[in-house]
Chain A
Amino acid sequence: MIRQASYRAAVRIGWLEWLPWVVALAAFFLLPQYLPFGARILVYILFALSLDLILGYAGIVTLGHTAFFGLGAYVAGILAAKVGVTDPLVQMVAAAAAAAVLGVVTGAVILRTKGLTLLMLTLAITSILLEVANKATSLTGGFDGLAGVTIAPVLGQFRFDLFGKTAYLYCLVVLFAGWWIVRRIIYSPFGASLVGIRENVVRMHAIGSPAYRRLVAAYAISATIAGCAGALLTQISQFVGINVFSFESAGELLVMLVLGGVGRIYGAFIGPLVYMIAQDQLAKQFPEYWYFGIGLLLVLVVMFARGGLLGLADRVIARLKEARR
């Protein structure tokens, strides 16, 4: 029988794919003292997932994804602190819509370029937003950040508590929705065409694919998800710092994804988890030199685990299978 490498992979969710959710729920019960930290990790997983859609699948290299994350964070924060809209779901929808609009508008301009030009443009857009947030102090709090953010109970029932229980579960539900959407997309014909564009855009044109329009659509979807992640961060921390737009945040996100494995969907889960735990532990052990440890971790991954930690796992499993034969 002829083996078919199907167009594309099977869509049924495998048991391994349920593992992150089982682990996340287990952590809720077993590690209650870490729930606020866990909620932040879930936010960054969602953020990394949004980046993976465009970087890992569509091949759009960006250093400006914090533009959407930051915009989402500020929209949620401003609605809560300045407009009096405290419902978290309304804030989330508004943040998503704002990030989507920004994604369409900026994507339509910058995705006509590629390579270094594209990279610089993504950086420039974030820098502009950073400066706007810095100058518009009456709205954003400027350099000091936006305080006074109050968030109403989720669905009018679940109040954000000091121990981070609601925040954790709320983030988990939003992350699940984001994961489900991204997963549907990457296994869809649209997702397949994004992979085609990443692999060979010349050929995609030659088969009649409007590559530019597809990229703008993917960029906007990714921006929307990043905006939701930004809104989540505001809601669980009840504060918006200007660093949500920073170059460091964008770089950190990229490092997280590279660490986990780009273009693998679950690399976006592993990367932020390992990075943030390592950061937390190293900062406790070596308060002055913790960045050295992060740098060393990344160097080791790049040198010995191309494809990130998931790529390394793949290779180990392949060798074990080979050894068994």
Chain B
Amino acid sequence: MSAVLETRGLCKSFGALTVAANIDFRLNAGARHALIGPNGAGKTTFVNMLTGRLAPSSGRILLGGDDVTRLTEEARVKRGIGRTFQINTLFRDLSVLDNVALGVAERRGVATRRWRPASAHAEVRDEAMALLASLGLDADAAVRVVDLPYGKQRLVEIAIALGLKPKVLLLDEPAAGVPSLESERILEVLDALPADIAILIIEHDMDVVFRFAERITVLVQGEVLCEGTPAEIGADRRVHEVYLGERHG
């Protein structure tokens, strides 16, 4: 299967501290891939390098075979990388609809228009509303994000990313901090994500990981410890020692 996103020898250091060491990683088209590891393993740093939020110290990032290592975050979004954040990064005082519509408008290339009113771009509003409806958020379209329960805010994070129609979606702990009742809804949404989007999920909750992922990469202290199917990872003694062992004692 062809790789839609690939890293080769990706490194990141802050002075003497190395947070990513020679990471070779491959995300196939349409993959459901999880990245796990103990706290401080460098998972979010890795995602930040993939999106362009953080420049790697060395190594290469390939998107669809093209080297995007030097491209800006915005340019990578245009090429098909979407993401959600570990901590909600939303337009808190804007409505749910506006949160999603801003992304849709950027993707459609209408966000630079200065004279035609935004409300005249019905295609942006309609697409954003359809997306919200698909996630069960249409009834909250007019609600300010800050007034939403936390679980729904996590869904808005996903909705914004989906509005970009990404080829690759990077989900940074999408269910973190969400009460179990609401997290079930997030899992349903993850299960229903379009099959053509390659998804990399960072998650601490092993139930989510083993339910969702077809492949798992384990990151420890900035290095790839191992990679395999959920069954292989679940049976790997090293993983139990450094990660599962640490969590389940």
Contact = CB atoms under 8 A, between A and B. Distances in A.
B89 A189 contact: no
A24 B228 CA distance: 73
Given A187-B117, A196-B102, A200-B89, A2 B74 contact: no
A249 interface: no
B8 interface: no
A206 B141 contact: no
Interface string A270-290: 000000000000000000000
Quick one: which of A8, A207, A209, A210 has the most chain B CB within 10 A?
A207
A83 interface: no
B97 A4 contact: yes
Contact of A190 (B77, B112, B160): B112
Contact of B118 (A4, A191, A206, A214): A191
Contacts of B95: 5
Contacts of B118: 7-8, 187-189, 191-192
A159 interface: no
Question: Chain A CB within 10 Å — which of B51, B92, B113 has the most?
Answer: B113
B97 A6 contact: yes
Interface string B51-73: 10100000000000000000011
Interface residues of B, number: 50
Nearest to B144: A5
Contacts of B128: 7
Contact of A3 (B105, B106, B142): B142
B77 A11 contact: no
A8 B91 contact: no
Contacts of B112: 189-190, 193, 214
Interface in B110-137: 110-121, 124-125, 128-129
Interface string A157-197: 00000000000000000000000000011011111110110
A315 interface: no
Nearest to B95: A5
A303 interface: no
Nearest to A6: B119
B26 interface: no
Contact of B116 (A3, A188, A199, A210): A188
B166 to A, nearest CB: 10
B154 to A, nearest CB: 14
A206 B78 CA distance: 10
Contacts of A195: 91, 94
Contact of B114 (A5, A190, A206): A190
A208 interface: yes
Interface string A204-228: 1111111000100000000000000
Contact of B164 (A6, A185, A208): A208
A205 B85 CA distance: 12
B103 interface: yes
How many A residues touch the partner, as a band?
Answer: 20 to 34
B101 interface: yes
A187 B113 CA distance: 10
Nearest to A188: B114
Contact of B138 (A2, A5, A6, A192): A2
Contacts of B106: 193, 207-209
A251 to B, nearest CB: 27
Contacts of B139: 2
Contact of A4 (B92, B124, B125): B125
B204 interface: no
A207 B90 contact: no
A204 B83 CA distance: 12
A191 B117 CA distance: 9
Contacts of B98: 5, 7-8, 192
A135 interface: no
B74 A210 contact: yes
Nearest to B114: A190
B88 to A, nearest CB: 10
B111 A189 contact: yes
A28 to B, nearest CB: 30
A3 B141 contact: yes
Contacts of A190: 111-114
Contacts of B93: 199
Interface of B: 51, 53, 72-75, 77-78, 83, 85, 89-98, 101-103, 105-107, 110-121, 124-125, 128-129, 138-139, 141-143, 160, 163-164
Interface of A: 2-11, 184-185, 187-193, 195-196, 199-200, 202-210, 214
